[in-house]
Amino acid sequence: MAQGRVLKKIAIVTGVVVGILVVALACLWWCARPENSDPTVAVGTLERYKDFASRYVEPREVAVWLPQGYRRGDSCDVLYMHDGQMLFDATTTWNRREWSVDEIAGRMMAADSLRRFIIVAVNNSDNRLEEYFPEGAWRYLPPAEQRDVAKDKLLGDKYLRFLVEEVKPFVDSTYHPLDGPGHTFVMGSSMGGLISLYALCEYPQVFGGAACLSSHLSMTYVGHGSGEGPWQEAFVRYLDARLPAANSHLVYMDHGTQGFDADYGVPQQRVDSLFAAKSWDNVHYMSRVYQGHDHNETDWARRLDVPLYFLLGRGAPRR
C-alpha cells in the first residue's frame, strides 16, 4: 500500500511538471509568432477577415482560400480547417512550418483529381486546448473524475457553435458554395483532429466528413486534473453513443510513429475497433499509420493528399 501511495505521488508530481512544461511551450508558441505578419499563398488567393467577432468565443482571424481561377459564386465544396495560421505560409508561423495546403490542393485540383472546393481557415486562439476539447466526453467520466474538472473551462461546444452558427452562415452568404453535408467537410490535426471528429458527431447534418490527422487520442495534458486513462475511456464511450450511422459519413484518421504520435497507436486501435464493431466499411472509414512521421505540419503536409482525396476526390462517395 505504501509503495502504491508513493507511485501515485510520483505520478501526480510528474503530471504537474508536464503541465508546467506544456504551459511554457504554449507561451513560447505565442511569443514566437511574428508580429504584424501577413501570410501569402503560392496558389490561388487568400481573403482574410481579421477579428471575426463571435458571441461564443474570442474573436480571431478567419481566412478563405480560393483556388486558381475561382470566381465568387462558383459551385464548389467547402473544407473547414482549424489552426488556420499554420496552413499556408511558413514564414509567418511560430515554428516555421506549414501544411502547404494551397500548393497541394491546387496541384490536385489542377490534375482534376479533386472536386473544386474552398478552404475556410479558422485561426486558433489562446484557448486552443479548451476550444478543441471534445466537451461531450465529460459526461462519460466517472463522477470522481468529473469533480476534478472545471467544466466551465471546456469550450468545445461554444467553438462548434461559432463555426456552425457564425462562420458558416457568413461563408454561405458571401461565397455561395454548394450546401448540405455532402459538400461540407472539416479537418484538423492533434487537438484539431479531436474537435473535427467531435464536430461530425455533434453536427452530422452540417458536416458530411471529417479528416483527423494525428488526433490527440492519448488525451495527455487535456484532463484538467484527471488522468489521461479516464478521458480516453470517456471519449470512446462518447463515440459509441454519438457516432452517426455506419457509412452515412466519411471519417479519415491517421497517426505517425514519432514524437507525440508514438503515443497514439493504442487509443487509435480502440477507436478503429469501435468503428469496425459498428460496421463501418473501408470506403467510409479510413485509418492509417505513417511510419517515421512526427507530430508537425511538415509531416501532415507529406500525407495531406490522402485525406483530401478521401473527402473530396472525384471518386469519393457523397452523403
Planar angle of CA 74, 180, 100, nearest 5 degrees: 60
pLDDT at 72: 86
| Cβ atoms within 10 Å of 16's Cβ, excluding its own | 10
Q: What pLDDT, on a 0 to 100 scale, did the predictor assign at position 242?
A: 98
Identify which of 7, 30, 149, 146 has the alpha carbon closest to the alpha carbon of residue 95.
30
Confidence at residue 30, expressed as pLDDT on a 0 to 100 scale: 41
DSSP string, 256-276: ESSGGGGGSHHHHHHHHHHHH
What pLDDT was estimated at residue 145? 85
CA 258 to chain centre: 19
Q: Give the C-alpha separation, 166 to 107, whole Å.
A: 31
Q: Are strands 117-122 and 77-81 parallel, antiparallel or unpaired?
A: parallel
Rounded CA gap, 190 and 12, in Å?
24
Show the cell assigned to 238: 462518447
Longest dimension (CA), the chain: 70
Neighbours of 266 (CB within 10 A): 10
Contact, 101 vs 119, CB < 8 A? Answer: yes
CATH for 33-312 is 3.40.50.1820
Looking at residue 117, the DSSP 8-state letter turns out to be E
**C-beta of residue 133 within 8 angstroms of C-beta of residue 152:** no
**Positive or negative torsion for Cα 246, 312, 193, 179:** negative
Cell matching residue 214: 494525428
Going by their DSSP bridges, the two strands 45-52 and 60-66 should be labelled as antiparallel
- pTM for the model stands at 0.88
Question: Residues in the chain with pLDDT < 50?
Answer: 1, 6-36, 225
Interior CA angle at 141 toward 139 and 142, to 5°? 120
Contact 95, 299 (CB under 8 A): no
Q: For position 221, what pLDDT does the model report? A: 62
Q: What is the pLDDT of residue 222?
A: 60
Average of per-residue pLDDT values in the chain = 89
* Positive or negative torsion for Cα 166, 169, 173, 175: positive
Domain ranges, ordered by start, for the chain? 33-312
Tell me which amino acid residue 12 is. I
Please report the pLDDT score of residue 3 as a whole number. Answer: 52
Walk across the sheet containing 45-52 and list its strands. Answer: 45-52, 60-66, 117-122, 77-81, 184-189, 209-213, 250-256, 285-290
Q: Looking at residue 227, what is its pLDDT? A: 54
